[in-house]
Structure 1
Amino acid sequence: MAADRVDMRLAGNLHVRLAGTPDAGTDDAALRTGVRLEPGGRHHDLVLEVSDRRLPAPTPADVLWRATEQTWRASAPDLANTIGQRDARHAHAVLSGLTGPAGGTVAAATTSLPERAEQGRNYDYRYVWIRDQAYIGQGVAAAGAHPLLDDSVRFVTARLLEHGPALAPACTTTGAAVPQQRTLDLAGYPGGFDIVGNKVRHQFQLDIFGESLLLLAAAARHDRLDADAWRAATAAADAIAARHREADAGIWELHDDRWAHSRLICAAGLRAIAAQAPSSSGGKAARWEALADRLVDETSADCLHPTGRWQRSPTLEGVDAALLMPAVRGALPADDPRTTATLHAVRTGLVQDHYVYRFRHDGRPLEDTEGAFLLCGFAMALATHQQGNEVDAVRWFERNRAACGPPGLFAEEFDVAQRQLRGNLPQAFVHALLLEAAATLAHPRGLSAGR
């Protein structure tokens, strides 16, 4: 292979080596080579290496392939206690690949893949969302005390201790602020345009504190919390106590409102962490439970629809698939009438062919406004399983895990009519909920009347 390689230097003192390149040459600063493969399944390895320092002696491609395969096998747990084991392990591998050295997992590896062509719905998701990080940790925790759980706890703990009630909904993988959103002078993906940064940096999202508590409680159940993490839990609970009456942008990052989901998921987080609080916590568990009760009561006072289900906010009477999650997470019992009425409303109003949409934007058919949200499909599987309907829960799981591309990667949305993925990929929170559902649905569960 040594004779079939080209070494180059690029701007910024980068060292580049392309190996396995017969007859390669440069022309006007471009590297050109050609490889001809005969029919019948023949293949040829090309190895591209880029480094900011001098490259060591080249390693044969077959050695690199074996080392890569062995490393991934060693890093992905067996997950034999899940359904869809292959896809569960794949989801874990995807999440591992999206995770940086500090433990933060980017929401997606791409930017600007449009959710709707020519409609300006292009986003940059190459940052760490606190909510998504909590989903990832909880998904991993459902399958066992694996290192990715510790990564999520480490990253969220650091952010809570650093920022407290001023915690931003998202940050970079190093914990810095997300850059201002701007467009680039590039054509981008067909039907879209390239964009860098995200407007989330200017938002307040109350639910991230509840999700953080749910993550920390899940880790505590595996005995994975240290003193710093418990201090972070106290900071998150204090932030809820201080800010729960403020309007926020909510899980879908819309206009500021008193979103029912934000308050109920905070109640779930408070209950979860209270259940894990040590006896030496000085009465914190009782205070957290009392605050959770108050949040549920206040939300019932202004977000309970006349039909008995949860509505989106005091001013928006529609149903929202995000409202499946508070009961799944323990904000109120599975057999509470508000839980079952909300589940029925989502099933009858936001579902098409076993795919689930977030909410109705207007009077148009659901598929005319956006794609189905795969996150919501796996949430439906969890909610159905919580009700004791195990066969139906698996049906939701199987339908939604089929909505991926050939590499087994999921985007945020799935266009049911055109059978196409929409938006950036791989979308971390979809893989996280797939993993959680795969672990949870593997265990029979009767209807739980408790929290």
Structure 2
Amino acid sequence: FQLDAFGESLLLFAAAGDDRIDVEAWQAVEVAAAAISNRWTEPDAGIWEIENRPWTHSRLTCAAGLRAIAAIPRARSDAADWLALADRIVAHTASHATHPTGRWQRAPDEPGNDGALLLPGIRGAVPADDPRTVATLQAYTDELTVDGYAYRFRHAEGPLGDAEGSFLLCGFLVALATHQQGRRADAIGWWERTRSACGPAALMSEEYDITERQMRGNLPQAFVHALLLECAAVLGDS
């Protein structure tokens, strides 16, 4: 069970807009919103598909999806309820998963940082200038990046690269989050550094070993390419 999938689904439908949502698609919207309402307090496997916990990213992604879908005209009869639910999720998560330093933490019982925690700000669960959004990005780049490459989270003490390679998805998230906070030149730097890890066929893997300069993990990795394209569109439009 991955709770964040319901929020991501709502974000997708919201991006499609009224003119592309038919009756069946709207039924899917209602199912996703109901699933969030009924299950957002449950532990889930999270974006990284690991042990079940009340992951901060999962809950905030659901809030982002609810806010996005509530903004389209077709949602007018449900908008107030969905926005209220989003506010409730964010308030509960903030009271249980805000680190003493002011950033988001992975879960109420897991104080570490995580590349996934950059997504809620990017997707609109909370504003880009929310202090927790700003603090999360700063702490993440301080603690979980090396030589311009980003890692998911810290598995144990010691060098980050001992546990796994840098996660290219996370590098693109840093670029998007940095751009969202008004630092376009820095965002382009993160974008260029991350996309430089592609292979000869211009495909990107899940991970990149920055010491050996080798691609690791799934190849090609769809999620990485999706963020590559999103970064290109966002940075190009700006």
Alignment TM-score, normalising by the size of structure 1: 0.52
- 8 Å contact from structure 1 (residues 277, 285) kept in 2: no
2:186 maps to 1:392: yes
| Alignment partner, residue 220 of structure 2 | 426
Aligned equivalents of 2:192, 2:210: Cα separation in 1 = 15
Equivalent position of 1:212 in the other structure: 9
Per-residue deviation, 1:224: 1.9
Contact 2:103 2:132 in 1 (8 A): yes
Structure 1 residue 335 corresponds to structure 2 residue 129: yes
SS at match of 1:361: coil
- Structure 2 letter corresponding to 1:265: T
1:413 and 2:207 matched: yes
Deviations 1:1-33 (A, max 9, x none): xxxxxxxxxxxxxxxxxxxxxxxxxxxxxxxxx
C-alpha distance in 2 between matches for 1:348 and 1:263 = 25
Where in structure 2 are the equivalents of 1:290-439 lying within 5 Å?
Answer: 290-439=84-233
Alignment of 1:22-171 (within 5 A): none
In structure 2, what is the Cα distance between the partners aligned to 1:224 and 1:426?
29
2:52 to 252, 256, 263: 256
Distance (Å, rounded) in 2 between the aligned partners of 1:334 and 1:282: 25
Q: Deviations over 1:103-129 (max 9, x none)?
A: xxxxxxxxxxxxxxxxxxxxxxxxxxx
C-alpha distance in 2 between matches for 1:246 and 1:277: 30
Superposed, 1:15-26 pairs within 5 Å as none
RMSD: 1.0
Question: What TM-score do you get using the length of structure 2 for normalisation?
Answer: 0.98
Q: Secondary structure at the match of 1:315?
A: coil
Maintained 8 Å contact 1:415/1:422: yes
Q: 1:415-438 CA distances to partner (integer Å, 9 max, x unpaired)?
A: 111110001211111110000000
- Whether 2:36 is the aligned partner of 1:225: answer no
Structure with greater proportional strand content: 1
* 1:377 positional shift: 0.5
Distance 2:144 2:72 in 1: 35
Residue from 13, 34, 38 that aligns with 1:238: 34
Q: Which residues in structure 2 correspond to 1:2-21 (within 5 Å)?
A: none
Q: Following the alignment from structure 1 to structure 2, what is the Cα–Cα distance between the partners of residues 268 and 217?
A: 11
Structure 2: how far apart are the matches of 1:353 and 1:224? Answer: 43
The Cα shift of 1:354 comes to: 1.1
Q: Which runs of 5+ in 2 are unaligned?
A: none
Preserved contact between residue 327 and residue 334 of structure 1 (Cα < 8 Å): yes
1:194 counterpart residue number: none
CA 209–277 in structure 1, closer or farther in 2 if over 3 Å, else same: farther
State the SS of the aligned residue for 2:153: coil
Structure (1 or 2) with the greater helix fraction: 2
Match of 1:272 among 57, 68, 87: 68
Q: Output the CA distance in 1 between the equivalents of 2:76 and 2:138.
A: 41
Q: How many corresponding residue pairs?
A: 238
What amino acid is aligned across from residue 33 of structure 2 in structure 1? A
C-alpha separation in 1, matches of 2:23 and 2:179: 34
The C-alpha deviation readout for 1:133-163, integer Å capped at 9, x for no partner, is xxxxxxxxxxxxxxxxxxxxxxxxxxxxxxx
- Give the secondary structure class of the aligned counterpart of 1:233: helix
Tell whether 2:80 aligns with 1:286.
Answer: yes
Contact 2:70-2:76 within 8 A present in 1 as well? no
The Cα offsets for residues 22-45 of structure 1, whole Å up to 9 and x where unpaired, read as xxxxxxxxxxxxxxxxxxxxxxxx
Partners of 2:73 and 2:176 lie apart in 1 by 26
User: Cα–Cα, structure 1 residues 215 and 352, in superposed 2: closer, same or farther, change >3 Å?
Assistant: same
Q: Higher relative contact order by CA 8 Å / sep ≥ 6: 1 or 2?
A: 1
Question: Partners in 2 of 1:397 and 1:284 — Cα distance?
Answer: 38
Q: Secondary structure at the match of 1:421?
A: strand
> For 1:403 and 1:365, how far apart are their aligned partners in 2?
20
Contact 2:14 2:72 in 1 (8 A): yes
